[in-house]
């Protein structure tokens, strides 16, 4: 794990597994969200953090979307490029692009919010702790 300068993006290299495809041999649409989340977790690990609940805060998803441009098939190698495009006191918004070589496969977005959960009470949004926020920055265009 690295914990150097703040990061704004990460690229994860991936290969399609057979179990991720449907009967037509094409990646099932729901797996694209998993790919995006894998890249997000890798970005957090790259800065020496884990997105798993710790320090009393968690990061549930409040928005997620994908647009599909080309299919992925079993054994295809592809990159999942995720970058932080917005960050405020309580939320982080990512954009994600899946690429097979230079070919754009899908584009997506994900927004997470920092919350604190106390047993027996509803989750409440809270500011992202500085020890987390300071590890990230907004990607430049």
**Which pLDDT tens digit goes with each residue over 113-125?**
999 987 788 889 9
* CATH H-level superfamily of 9-133: Hotdog Thioesterase (3.10.129.10)
Active site residues: 22
Instruction: Reply yes or no on whether the pLDDT at 107 is more than 60.
Output: yes
Provide the CB-side half-sphere exposure for 54 (13 A, CA). Answer: 6
Check residue 122 and give its pLDDT.
87
| Under 8 Å between Cβ of 76 and 16 | yes
Residue ranges per structural domain of the chain: 9-133
């Amino acid at each position: 794990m690295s914990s150097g300068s703040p990061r704004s993006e990460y690229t994860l290299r991936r290969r399609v597994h057979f179990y991720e495809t449907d009967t037509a041999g094409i990646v099932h649409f729901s797996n694209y969200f998993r790919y995006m989340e894998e890249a997000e977790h890798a970005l957090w690990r790259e800065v020496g953090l884990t997105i798993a609940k710790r320090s009393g805060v968690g990061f549930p998803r409040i928005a997620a979307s994908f647009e599909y441009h080309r299919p992925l098939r079993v054994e295809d190698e592809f990159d999942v490029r995720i970058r932080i495009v917005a960050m405020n006191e309580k939320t982080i918004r990512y954009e994600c692009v899946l690429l097979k070589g230079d070919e754009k496969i899908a584009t997506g977005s994900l927004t997470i919010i920092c919350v604190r959960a106390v047993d027996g009470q509803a989750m409440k949004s809270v500011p992202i702790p500085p020890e987390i926020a300071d590890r990230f920055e907004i990607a430049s265009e």
